[in-house]
Homo-oligomer: A and B are copies of this chain.
Amino acid sequence: MRLLPHPATEDIELTEVLRALADPIRLKIVARLATVGEMTCGEATDHLGVHKSTASHHHRALREAGVVYTKQEGRLKYISLRRYDLDARFPGLLDSVITASGDHRAVAASGERGRD
């Protein structure tokens, strides 16, 4: 049910993934996905403090980099981490990033806007 363009596992590139993760907003999305497993785009947007079009832009960036998988169900779109694929391609990378983003204020520090 892949209605949206997702890169194949073998086409996921390291620099693309790193670039996708190198943004406070997107890191926030990833960190949240790591705990909730899955959420709708709208639910994700509510926790970001940016315009919905901006959130959509970030969701696409993550999807096109191969970091998240997006599936549609009715009017909603659910996003989730492509853990299996990422682990297969870049072992340990996602885990270390998620762990790092969960500690201290590594994420909040650069992207905070007092709206969390």
**What residues of chain A have their CB less than 8 Å away from a CB belonging to chain B?**
13-16, 18-19, 21-24, 27, 89-93, 95-97, 99-101, 104, 106-107, 109-111
Contact = CB atoms under 8 A, between A and B. Distances in A.
**Assembly stoichiometry (copies):** 2
B22 A109 contact: no
A24 B14 CA distance: 9
Q: Which of A16, A18, A97 has the most CB of B within 10 A?
A: A18
A96 B101 contact: no
A21 B22 CA distance: 9
Contact of A14 (B14, B15, B27, B91): B27
Given A15-B22, A18-B21, A22-B18, A100 B110 contact: no
